Structure 1
């Protein structure tokens, strides 16, 4: 969880800014732009220096990396993908001529393929989406009305 106190942020943010300036300098000197390799190197070195050689520490490091990746996906990547899905159209929509998957209010189609792992979702995943044993229910992304399938 990256949500640390303001006091800690005040200590860490200047270090991060220095690191960013270093990365930018490396980018301007390197026509192949090895940004990902440089980031991987820094993260690997930090892990090597911060976590000792025992299973619990390795497990802690992996857990932190996974949590970081998941939080980055949740806060940065997913909203970007959701916006693109909304702007460009869902790639998973099938059977759009079937009125069963059409919102009665606005006519927006809800993808039958969005029913994954017992949850009903449309292009944008919403906390309101849920599943019941009798029917699937989701929110239409066109008008946010409930759609039952």
Structure 2
């Protein structure tokens, strides 16, 4: 497990008062470790056999673990100092209930991939190169 030196945290100096960035890189490395350990400990054998693939299961479990981490982080207002708590919870759920994590990812993706209910809720982007797009002030394309 990678450790974070909280002595380097500027929070106590008042620089980051009330705000902690999500430690994406550190968490990514740790989630990779957790998923690989689950595979080595044969906790994913049933799912790999069911799907007849290993890489797909690892990718989905990695994404599911990150989704779980994101939900926990938001719900419990995560900070760098309590990141180890989240990693322990992820390790337990990844090794003890991998199928449950995978189902939560499937549910999340099925909800987020649904088309919008009405066309008016879609966002349309235009390029500055599209005809009819006016540039502000003295701006012009070069």
TM-score range for the pair, normalised by the shorter chain length: under 0.3
Greater RCO, 1 or 2 (C-alpha within 8 Å, sep 6+)? 2
The TM-score, its normalising length taken from structure 1, stands at 0.26
The TM-score, its normalising length taken from structure 2, stands at 0.27
More strand by share: 1
More helix by share: 2
